Structure formats: structure tokens, C-alpha cells
Structure 1
């Protein structure tokens, strides 16, 4: 047998390991002490509907568990194990930790039911206050059950066989019973409690059908989880449903006045042929539920410890095959004892119930998403249509809100906080989950829908391919790209790998190294390493082919080159960018040191309308980034004479107002021979300068355009960081940030 197939711990079968703990938790104190009240409150038809609706949710969850269990080797931890292996470690822990406390506190609730039944027979220690006696009985019972669970799970489950027999005999005694003496009338002095609404009654009854967590919690101690979990879980659900449907029908046949059921909460004992068997059944039901939780809660801690979420020593095993989590059991005992000593836990009871429902919902969601993704690895022997599981998830979440919206929100908040904290710890899971498949499914859906649409001015944003080379040596390009994208746009940082050094392993390791380098500097970007004979050849290949469907970069960011031998190749790259309808940002770092106080962004407009819309859009994007948030954005233009100045100022101010951006207007008069001398002088103290550049002409040769590029580089020397912008995309950029309200 392979190492990963070796079975550790006990090897319980279906009946002992799953059916018995599940059915005993289903047949709990709600059945004995609250079922008559349910019928009396809402009547027979509504009661049958409540039972059917509650069981349907549990049954759908059972189907989802069956599908998951027959598609994976389920280990210790039950719901935590399945959810963490499906939706990821963080989601599993976010449910697993609250579920542990819910089950540990649940032990106190079940023992409280046992204590209440004992005290109903009389105070065994009349010299002490009844409240003190109740806590002594609860603490003593908890201690005995903990010792039993600590010694051996096998022994604890054998004890449950006797409990199952006792519950079975109590049901036989009830169905052999006769109507209560006062079934037809109540005395005039009797005060009949007010009837509750459907959903309040549903909330009281629903915990009665949530016992499948008890069987699921033993997942790590089953001989064959793939066989036992489906059979034992579904058999327990069906058995519980048949009994819960028979009980109200029998009661309604024997009790004609339903007010009696509201007054006599011990109606089962009143009607039973042998009432003592009902009392024993109540004792057995509460103790079996407590024992089931004392077996399940520590095993969830054991699974969390095994995954290094909590200290590993907590999950250490003892006893047969090192299976009994005694340290975790002691911790569960401490939590349950604290709950016992606290006394009234009614305030947190609804919240704890929400965690069980939340786990049911996520189990259904896991199975539903697995079926929806349809990955080749999803091959359950017990196949359930994904729609069924998703319906179960929707039912769980809907019922949570119906039962207690406030408790639901608190449970979701607690779960979210735990998820966030675990995410921050960056724990490395040693297993694969479905998150990659979920994201792939969403991306596929989005890309297919996106391909049917065309980009427009209202939704346009820069999707940038930054050809940065080595970011370590040209970090200014990455900084510029990051300021433009800043979490709201797509950014890819690309680098060309010399083809002579190319190998799949080299590409992968270089990408991971660059990805980690960017992550440490909090740059959210995709990384692309492309093998090519040289930089220009690789850059042209990326411009032509990089992207997926409609998700292709619309803006290419390049650094400048001053190597004259590259000018023609660079001109060819610019022409390719234009011909593929991509926008170009040619960013030139300053040769001089830029003062720290240089926080002005200058935009120069020569009156040409082709680039100014994109220039202003990009300048505004930069201004929104944290590094430039306090900067001034100034739009500048040059006129020939003083007479033109006022009209130009009005025109420029109106234009800025139409664009709805926080910019200032400044009009300069040409007092120097060269426009670039004026620009250099006026923007000497700017932190960043934007300027347009012209595209290659249709008939223009590469040699001619390379001369234009060379002259542009020459006349802009000694300037602050400078971004040349060339708009080639079929977008009316003046409308991107300047759409009027009536549009």
C-alpha cells in the first residue's frame, strides 16, 4: 500500500462510525421536549412542512458530502477537512475554528439538557441551592464523558450502542401510548402560552436535523470513508425523517386539543406506555449528543494542528495507533467546562447554530462548484448534479437569514476576520484546492462575454504592457506603470530573455524571481519573461501576440534608447504599436537629480487634439496614485503674442472644466527661439512632464521617422522625467474623463 493510502487510527465501519453518532445526535432533546410544542404552535401541516424543509436542507448537504467523500480521501477533521481541501486552507480554518467552539459549547448545551431532566425528578442535594447543584451535576457529567472520550473512541462508540437501544425502546413506548387524560379540555386556570410564528418554530426545530456533523467528525477514524460517509449519513437522515414525520401524525391523532401540547412539554412521557423509558431516552439523547461532540470537536483541533494552523503538539495522538487526540480532548473539556460554569448561554446559542449552517452551506458550495468547474479530477462515484448542491447551499444561507439575520451577520463577520488573519499568515498548504479552477471558470465566462463587447469611453482604462527590461536597472519604468495602473487597471511587466540562455526552467525561475521582487515592493502586476534573440525582436513579438482574447494590452510603455544603432529598430517598434492600434507611452528618466519637493505634473499641449485626451487621462491616473496625490496638475500651452494669450487662457480653462479634472491652466508667450527651450525653462521644477509625439506617416520611411525620434531625444535633454504620449486606439479620449452630464 502506498504511503498516502495507509490508514491511521481506528477503522470504524458505517454503522458504528457514522450512522450511530449521527442518528443519536438527530434524536436529541428537541425530539423529546420540544416536538410537541412545535406541533401545538403551528399545527400538523406546517409541522410536516418544517420537518420536510429542514430535512431537505440536511439531505442535500448529505448528497454533497457523499459526492465529496467519493472523490477524495477524507482525513481527520470532517467538515474542516473537506472545505479546506476544496475552497482552500483559509476558508477551511475560517469555518473549522468556529465549528470547534460551536461543538465544544454544544457539549455544555447537551449536558444542560441532561441536568434539567435530572433536576426535574427532584434536587438530589436539597441542602444546596438548585443552581449550584445543577452546575455540580453538569460539571461531573462532563468530566465522566471526557474521561470516556479520552480513554478510547472505540469504547465511547460502544457505549452509544446502549444509548441507541434506550432511545429505540423509548420510541416504542411512545408509539404504544394512549392519549393524555386532559386531551379534550384544559382547566380554566391553565395559562396557554402564545403561539410562535413559522420561522421561530423552524429555528427551534432545525438543530434536531443537524446531527450529521457528528458522523462527519469521525472521518479520520473510518475504515473506508468513501463508503461509510455516504451510506451512514444518508441512512441517518432518512431514518430521522421517517421518525420525525411519524411523531406529529401520531400526536395529532391522539391529542385533539393542540393547546395541551403548548402546556405539557413532557407530552411524550405523559402519553408513553412506560414513562420511565422516555425519561431514560431524554437522558440517553442528551448524553449521546454530548459524547458525539466530545469525539468530534477534538478531532477538528487535531486536523488544524496537523495542518500547522495551531501548535502541532495539540494534535498529538495516543492510544490505539496513536489515534486518540487526548490533548485536544482536554482543551475541548476546558472550553465546555467554561461554558457550563457560565450558565446561561442563550445569547450566543444562535450564533453557534449559524456556524453549523454556514459549514453546511460551504460543503454544498464546494460540491456544487466542483461539478460546475467540471475538471477531469472531479470523478465522484456518488455523482450529484451541481445544481442540487448549489440549491442546498442557497437553502442553507436563506435559512440562516430567516432564523436570525443578526446572528448570521455576526457569524459571517467572525468567519471573515479569521479568514483575513489566516491569509496574512501566508500558510503554505501541501495540497491543491479548487480556487484555480474557480478563477479559471470566472475568467472564461468573463472573457467570452467581454469578447462580444467593444471598449468605450465610459469604461476605458489603461491596460499596460511595460517592456521594462530588468526592473532592477530600470525601476523608473515599473514605477511609472504602477502609478498609471494602481490596482484599477491591468499591468504586465515584461522582460526579454536572451534566446541562447533559454530553457523552460530558466523562464519559470526568472518569472518567479521577478514576481517576488515586485511583490516585496507592493507592485500588483503580471510577469512575462519572453525568450528572443534581442530586445527589439522580443518586444515586437509581445506587441503582436501578448494577451488573451479581448484581454490584450491597449497601452505599451517603453523606455527611451539613445543608442543610434537602435533608432531604426525602435522606429519600427513604434510603427508596429500604432498599426496594432495600441497607445504608446515613451518614458524618459531625467539625467539630472529631481528635487524631492518637485511635485508638479506639467502637461504640454500644442493645440493638436489627437493626443491631449489620452495625455490628460494618464496624467490624472498618475495624480490619483499615492506618490502623486498631493501634486498640482498644470496644463500648459504656448502662444506667439500677448494678444493671443487671453483667448487661449479662456479656451484652455473651458477645456479643463469640460474634462472635470483638478487641473490649472497656464498660457506662456513665446519669448525664446525654440518651443522646447520654453518647455525646459517652464518645467524645470516639475516632478513629471507629459508631452505628445506624432505617429509615423503612412508614406514615411523608418529612416525618416528614426531621425524625428533622434531629434526629439536631443531637444528634450536635461529635462525632468518626461512621458511622450501617442494615442492610436480607436477611442475618443477627450470623452474618457470629459463626458458631459447629458451624455
Structure 2
């Protein structure tokens, strides 16, 4: 375990780099100045329960840290490093920045404990005419300056000092357990004001920082010779040592001190009970200063790691000293934050703040290890294997404890973390490492697909999952715009393009996909991209319609443009027949051949005789009307009757339907006053921005030639119309039920 220097920093061993700073932070000011208060408030059983619960959370976190430390090379930054490399740089920054402030506040917390213990012996500045309150702040500030100077110039020297502190704490514990106080020493002075007892969770919040010493060793992860070996062993040994002492101490105190009121008012009860008081005083000083020193070593290294990953300005992470490892700029910033916190000076005020952020970081550490085990990626091969359920239990325990301590503070801590996550996400930092977010999403998708595969689509939850056969979005943007209007925020969209097979190569496909994806993102269109090599457009489209999708996640609606080339009519009609045969709905969008009026803000739906077609059409029209482009448009449902006598009844049915289904639409009924229905539609919809019409399905025994002739006639009959969307319902869904059309309409 000898420590040697490497080019990139220190090489501390397990005892010096993990166990000693961890166990010294555990045996800190809470043990000396608040353990009696804990016992006085909740009794022996409650104290043992608090110690066990708090240590259990730390132990589960220690197991998770051990698993992750033996699966990755842990760099500087401790908890930040592990979380950022597991959950991504945004999640790492979201916990790393609050954790830095928690550790910086921890410096003030431990120094406040030192000052409280010193002031209990008398005001050393009284001879200068300085009152207790001002004296406390002067002593705390001076102590902070001295400790910062030690940490500023050498972490190695700071850790060597901790061996002497370790010995002093050991001697103080021996003195405490050898104590046999007289009844006079345990008597409460007359007229002493007894404070009210605090609740269980308030006491838990004050005590919990006592078991968070593993952060001290974790914070030095970048300066360890062998983190994979040192972190698990040193962390678990420190937790075990702390638990043993913390379970024995309240039993001994309860045996020696029978009056709980004395425990509430005497913060120096360990001195009162001890055989010799001087070792306890030295121990308090030593523990307070060593814990503060541990935080002064850990907090700047968290800040340094954040700077090296460019989360904060990079100059903050600059290293100094012989090996360019000491984070002096980060140490100066930690000093400034701690100095501000020193002015608070109240242990009971600072402790719950520390508890919240430590619990949050522990929860995310456990969550990281749990998700790694749950995903079971081939890269997850820790030497120290922990079942993912144990880590997830640790995460749940952390978040549950936060809520029980203070639900409001928990929500505030989560909001602060979420804000940092959002701000870092907006910066779009490019991390140079891979994290497990892809694996998490893959696990969720896999789970969802298997569950979806057991269910059948139904009318209540139907939505268009569109495959747009658009080609390059730049050349046929109107198809992509239509598909996006139908799917945004609620459905899936795939934009596809056929690549001539003679130009095919894997590199070209990837380049085209990247180019199309970038273009769609710039236009704020959320879509997947599919480039498909094929000898020609029609055969490629047929292959995509047949095979594209995975399990139950296949497109239920195909969107394509029309063709005016008579030479393509047969193949195009065959493609439509294929779409219908494989039970995919069809939307065929035809661009307008005439210049639309400037105020073309109406969507016209023409109601024919096919109930499934009209159900799908109205559903699609309603979806489009929710999009930003068409939000101010007017939806008009139109139908044609032969005589005036039929008009009133048809109008009444349409208006009743619109009212019953809560559709923001108007009803219009026209009389057939021209020989062709298409002429009536052309005249009545000349000012529309978009027109929906049904399309006839192929007959069962109809030939391709016959359907091609129908298609050609349809194209001819609908010339010189506004943008026209032909819709053909083919899916095994009763679309009249999707929109709620009753049998009588």
C-alpha cells in the first residue's frame, strides 16, 4: 500500500486514500457533539434503528460503488465521475454541481462543530472584548483559512496529517468507554431550560451526515493507485467500522446516563462520561478538522472533474504542483463557498441540507448500478458482483428517506437537479465516453414490444403510425409536412427514400440517413429515417410496405404522392393494391395544379358512402387540425344529396354527429346540380387549403389493369383541385368507432 507518484497525479493506496479519510469523516462532529442528543430525543431503540437505517443506506451504496468501481476505471470526481459515465454527462452534472456545494457546505459543517466544541471550553477571545457570536465566526474563518492552505498545496501532506488524527480519535474512544461518571457529574443544573424533543425524521436528518464518510474516499478516486481494488475494500471496511462503534456507543451511553433530559442539553456528554476529558476534547478537535480536511480534498476534485468535462469553465480544473494534480483554483472556489456557509454556523441547520444532497447522490449511484445490472450489457462484468435488485433497493431507500425527512426539501432538491440537467442538456455537450442511456431505452423498448405483441390494436387507442414514401424531404416537402402534421407528439413517423441499387454502399446509406436526419431536425420534424436500396422506386416501395417494422411496431398507414405518368399507372395501382392487401391504410397526397388563394385556411372533408373511409378521414382531419400549421383552420364536413327533400335530413344528421362527437367542424349539404360529383367538389372546394376524399378499395377479383384504369380515371376527374388527400382504410379497425360514428349516421 505504499504510495508512489505517477505522472498524472498521486497513487494512494486503500488505507491512506480510502479507509482513513472515510472512517475519519464517519467519526466526526455528529459522534462527539450530537450522538447524545440523538439518544435523548428518540431513546435507545430509536437510536439503534436510526443508526441501522442510515448505515444500511450507506452499505447498499457501498456495494453499488464496489460493483461499478470494479467494472470501470474510476477517474477523478468520485460520485460525479461514476454517474456521468453511467447515466450521461447531463445526469452527472445535475448531481455533480449540487454535490460539490453539499461537500463545500460540509466543510463549514465540520468547522462549525470544531468551533462549538472549542467555545464550550470558554471564549478564547473574551480578553479582547469580543462576544461569543463574533468569536465563533472569527475562529471558524481562521480555521478554514489554515485548512485550505494545507489542502491547497498538497493532498499528500493533508492525508499524512490524518494518521495522527486517527490515533487521537482512537484514544478518545478508549477514554469514553472506560468512563464511569459520578452522579454529581450527571446532575442537571437547577432552572435549566429543557428543549422539546425532535421528531424521528428530524433526528435522522441531523444524524445521517455521520455515515456519509464514504464520499471522502470516493472523492479521491482519481488519486488512487488501484481504484478497482481500493474503493470496494476501503469503503466497506469504513462502513463496517463505523456501524460497530455507532451501535455500541448508544448502548454504553444509555447504561451510564439515565436522564434523557441531560442528553438533550449537554452537547459534550462524551466529555462528561469519559474517564479523561482531554482525549475527548482532542478527539473532537481532531475529528472535526479531519472531516473538514476530507471535504476540502473532495469538493475541489469534484469541481475539477466537472471542469475537465467542460461542464463548467475549463480553467477551473487546471492542476498545479509537482505532478499538476492539485486543483488549486477549484480549492479557492470551495473555500469561498465554505466561507459563506461558515457564517450560518449552526450544525442543526446545515446537517439536513447535507443529508438531502448526499441522499440524492447515493440514490443515483445505486440507480446507476441497478440499471447496469438490469440491462445486462456484455460490458457489465464487475469483479464485485451485486444483484441489481439490491442496488435498486438502495436507490428506493434513499428517495424514501428524503421524502420522510422533508417532502418540500426533497422536491426542491429534485427541481434544482432537474434545472441543472436541463441547462446542461441545452448546451449539447459532446461527451467522449459512452454511457448506458441507449441500453436503458433499449430495455424499455424491448419490454414494451413484448407487451404490445400480446395485445391487439383497438379503436380507443388507435393513432396513425406513418411510413412516408417521400424520397428526399427537400424535393417533396409537402409529403413530410403532411405526415408530421398527422403524427407530431402522439404517433410514429418514418421518412423513407429509395436509393438506386447501382449507387448503393453502406457508407452512402449512412451518409444519406445522416443528411436527411439533420435536415428534418432543423425543420423540427421528429421522424425516423429509412434509406432502402432497390433497382427502382416502385419495387423498393413494395419491399418497404411488406417488410418495414419490428414486431407490433409496424406502420399502419402508408403516405405517398401521386403519379401523373400514365406509364406508371399499372405499377402504381399494383402498389396501392399491395398496401390494401397487407392491411395498411393509404393516404395519397396530390399537389394542387392551381394557385391556392391566400386565405385558403379551410379543410374540407367529403362524406361518401364508405363508413370506414369516412371514419379514418375525419380522424386524420382532426389530427391535422391540432397541428400548429392548421390550428386556426376551419374544418367543414360536406356531403352531396340528390334532391332538396333529402337535404334537411342529411344536414340534421351531420350536425347531430358533430355535436355528439365534440368535433370542431361545420356541416354543409349540397344538391347534385351537375352531372359529375367531381365537378361539384371542384366548385365547392376551390377555396380550401386541403381536401379529403375517400378512395375505392380494389375488388376481390379485380385485375391490376382494371384498378389501374380506375386510378387513371380518378386522376383525370380530380384535376385542377386544391391539395387533395385520397384516403383508403384497410386496417382491421372499425374506424367509425375511432371517431364514434353510430350506425344510424
Aligning the two structures, in what range does the TM-score lie when normalised by the shorter sequence? Answer: over 0.9
Rate the CA distance shift 1:346–1:738 in 2: closer, same or farther, 3 A: farther
Q: 1:128: how far off?
A: 2.0
Residue deviations 1:135-159 (CA, integer Å, cap 9, x gap): 2211111111111001100000011
510, 513, 521: which one pairs with 1:511?
513
3-state SS of 2:323 partner: helix
Would you say 1:591 and 2:593 are equivalent positions? yes
Would you say 1:282 and 2:284 are equivalent positions? yes
Could you tell me whether the CA contact under 8 Å between 1:590 and 1:722 is conserved in 2? yes
Residue deviations 1:422-463 (CA, integer Å, cap 9, x gap): 111110011000111111111111100110000101100000
What RMSD in Å do the two structures reach over aligned CA positions? Answer: 1.5
618, 621, 624: which one pairs with 1:622?
624
**CA–CA distance in structure 1, aligned partners of residues 655 and 648 of structure 2:** 11
Q: 1:29: how far off?
A: 0.7
**CA–CA distance in structure 2, aligned partners of residues 528 and 280 of structure 1:** 71
Q: 1:189: how far off?
A: 3.5
254, 258, 262: which one pairs with 1:260?
262
Matches within 5 A, 1:14-25: 14-25=14-25
Q: 1:68: how far off?
A: 0.1
Matches within 5 A, 1:346-357: 350-357=352-359
Matches within 5 A, 1:129-528: 129-182=131-184, 186=188, 189-341=191-343, 350-528=352-530
Rate the CA distance shift 1:253–1:345 in 2: closer, same or farther, 3 A: closer
Q: Which residue of 1 aligns with 2:50?
A: 50
**CA–CA distance in structure 1, aligned partners of residues 384 and 670 of structure 2:** 78
Q: Which residue of 1 aligns with 2:3?
A: none
Could you tell me whether the CA contact under 8 Å between 2:109 and 2:345 is conserved in 1? no
Could you tell me whether the CA contact under 8 Å between 1:183 and 1:260 is conserved in 2? no
Deviates more, 1:48-57 or 1:380-389: 48-57
**CA–CA distance in structure 2, aligned partners of residues 438 and 571 of structure 1:** 43
Q: 1:286: how far off?
A: 1.1
Q: Which residue of 1 aligns with 2:633?
A: 631
Could you tell me whether the CA contact under 8 Å between 1:659 and 1:734 is conserved in 2? no
Q: 1:171: how far off?
A: 0.5
Q: 1:188: how far off?
A: 5.9
**CA–CA distance in structure 1, aligned partners of residues 25 and 741 of structure 2:** 64
**CA–CA distance in structure 2, aligned partners of residues 39 and 128 of structure 1:** 34
Matches within 5 A, 1:54-133: 54-126=54-126, 127-133=129-135
3-state SS of 1:627 partner: coil
Aligned residue pair count = 735
Residue deviations 1:564-608 (CA, integer Å, cap 9, x gap): 111111111111111111100001111223334211100001233
**CA–CA distance in structure 2, aligned partners of residues 339 and 21 of structure 1:** 22
Q: 1:211: how far off?
A: 1.1
712, 727, 730: which one pairs with 2:729?
727
Q: 1:503: how far off?
A: 1.0
Rate the CA distance shift 1:98–1:709 in 2: closer, same or farther, 3 A: same
Could you tell me whether the CA contact under 8 Å between 2:109 and 2:350 is conserved in 1? no
Would you say 1:650 and 2:658 are equivalent positions? no
**CA–CA distance in structure 1, aligned partners of residues 395 and 592 of structure 2:** 58
Instruction: Compute the TM-score of the two structures, normalised by the length of structure 1.
Output: 0.97
Q: 1:624: how far off?
A: 0.5
Q: 1:343: how far off?
A: 5.0
Rate the CA distance shift 1:161–1:345 in 2: closer, same or farther, 3 A: closer
Q: Which residue of 2 aligns with 1:606?
A: 608
Deviates more, 1:544-553 or 1:317-326: 317-326
Could you tell me whether the CA contact under 8 Å between 1:79 and 1:216 is conserved in 2? yes
Q: 1:214: how far off?
A: 0.8
3-state SS of 2:653 partner: helix
**CA–CA distance in structure 1, aligned partners of residues 115 and 132 of structure 2:** 11
Could you tell me whether the CA contact under 8 Å between 2:79 and 2:218 is conserved in 1? yes
Q: Which residue of 2 aligns with 1:3?
A: none
Q: 1:14: how far off?
A: 0.3
Rate the CA distance shift 1:318–1:660 in 2: closer, same or farther, 3 A: same
3-state SS of 1:696 partner: coil
**CA–CA distance in structure 2, aligned partners of residues 701 and 245 of structure 1:** 87
697, 706, 712: which one pairs with 1:704?
706
Could you tell me whether the CA contact under 8 Å between 1:178 and 1:272 is conserved in 2? yes
Q: Which residue of 2 aligns with 1:684?
A: 686
Q: 1:349: how far off?
A: 5.2
Q: 1:184: how far off?
A: 7.5
Residue deviations 1:688-733 (CA, integer Å, cap 9, x gap): 1100000111111111111111111111111111110000011111
**CA–CA distance in structure 1, aligned partners of residues 441 and 564 of structure 2:** 43
Instruction: Compute the TM-score of the two structures, normalised by the length of structure 2.
Output: 0.96
Residue deviations 1:339-384 (CA, integer Å, cap 9, x gap): 2245568667534431111110000000011110111100000000
Rate the CA distance shift 1:464–1:351 in 2: closer, same or farther, 3 A: farther
Q: 1:332: how far off?
A: 1.0
Deviates more, 1:240-249 or 1:100-109: 100-109
Q: 1:284: how far off?
A: 1.1
Q: Mind listing any 5+ residue stretches in structure 1 that lack a counterpart? A: 1-5
